[in-house]
Amino acid sequence: MTVAIIAARKGSKRLKNKNIKPFCGVPLVAWSIVQAQCSKLIDRVYLSTDGDEIADVGKAAGAVIINRPEWDDADAACSIRPFRHAIETLRLADTDTVVTLLPPHVLRKPGDLDGAIQLFNNQGYLHVEGLIPQRETILYKIIGSHVAQMEIWNKNKLYGTLCGGFWVSSVREYMLGTIGPDTDKEISTIGGGEHGTTRQYFYPLEAWQDHDTDTIEEFKLAELVCQMNLPNGLDEYREYARGEK
């Protein structure tokens, strides 16, 4: 069985009530729910939340609600924690496949989730995430006041940006802790590529999908990008589910 778990907290800091804020006319969290519902390979869709208003939106969109605790250190916790809580609550089997989604990364194409699931199933990877391969990568390191030096200049598509806000994995990997640590601080101490936890197996996304919704400016820009590339809104996914795209 393949299940989708969407995690949405009520205490968004940079943009208040972000998850229920209308995005192109529809609450932001509802986009991830519909995207998962329109997958041809996902059997059930769950929404994990600590907010009543978010839960109401989720129910209206057709998701099964998982009520999670209001953790005292929620600001420090990364997204792994609510997913593990949901998996434990649902008592999923080790062999089940789980697709986890974060609503702020809304720009997913119809078929992205299915493509990642197929890659996971066919290749036997531990997990698959969305990544945008960069045409060129140029990074500068700030070394002083108004002073920077070039650290990376590469045009060989050797680098990428994790994007899309979705992961495909087995339940077993989540419960063993191989997906990632519990807090953002722990993530920052993982280090370089010699650590197995930093190796990513990825499903390629397009450059226009690299837009978040964490601030009002980013939210508005993502709406414009969505209108350009998904002009029919959520109907794009419904058409895909019906085999019309």
Q: What is the pLDDT of residues 70-81, one digit of tens each?
A: 776 555 555 788
The mean-pLDDT minimum among 130-144, 173-187, 209-223 falls in 173-187
pLDDT at 195 over 60: no
> From CA 79, how far away is CA 83, in angstroms rounded?
7
| Residue-level pLDDT at 194 | 40
pLDDT in tens, 6-62: 999 887 777 889 999 999 999 999 999 999 999 999 999 999 999 999 999 999 999
pTM, rounded to two decimals: 0.86
Provide the residue ranges of all domains of the chain, joining segments of one domain with +.
Answer: 2-131+161-241
Q: Which amino acid does the sequence have at 239? A: E
Helical axes 28-37 vs 52-61, angle rounded to 10°: 40
Q: Indicate the average pLDDT of the chain.
A: 87
pLDDT above 70: percentage of residues in the chain: 87
Strands (E), the chain: 2-8, 22-23, 26-27, 44-49, 64-67, 97-101, 127-133, 137-144, 147-154, 160-170, 202-204
Please determine, for residue 201, whether its predicted confidence score (pLDDT) is greater than 60: yes
Q: How confident is the model over 163-184, as a mean pLDDT?
A: 74
More confident of the two residues 156 and 49:
49
**Cα separation values, 183 from 48, 77, 189, Å:** 18, 4, 10
Q: Reply yes or no on whether the pLDDT at 192 is more than 50.
A: no
Q: What is residue 74's predicted lDDT score, i.e. its pLDDT? A: 54
Place of tokens 């002073």: 147
**Window from 95-104, 145-154, 165-174, 178-187 with minimum mean pLDDT:** 178-187
| Banded pLDDT at 196 (limits 50, 70, 90) | very low
Please tell me the predicted confidence (pLDDT) of residue 179. Answer: 59
Q: What is the mean pLDDT of residues 208-215?
A: 92
Residue 198 banded pLDDT, cuts 50, 70, 90? low
Per-residue confidence (pLDDT) for residue 228, from 0 to 100: 97
**pLDDT of res. 171:** 86
Confidence of residue 177 (pLDDT cuts 50, 70, 90): low
Q: How far is CA 205 from CA 5, 137, 147, 163, in A?
A: 21, 16, 33, 8
Query: What's the CATH fold of domain 2-131+161-241?
Result: Spore Coat Polysaccharide Biosynthesis Protein SpsA; Chain A (3.90.550)
Pick 125 or 101 by higher pLDDT.
101
Least confident of 134-148, 149-163, 189-203: 189-203
pLDDT given for residue 13 in this prediction: 75
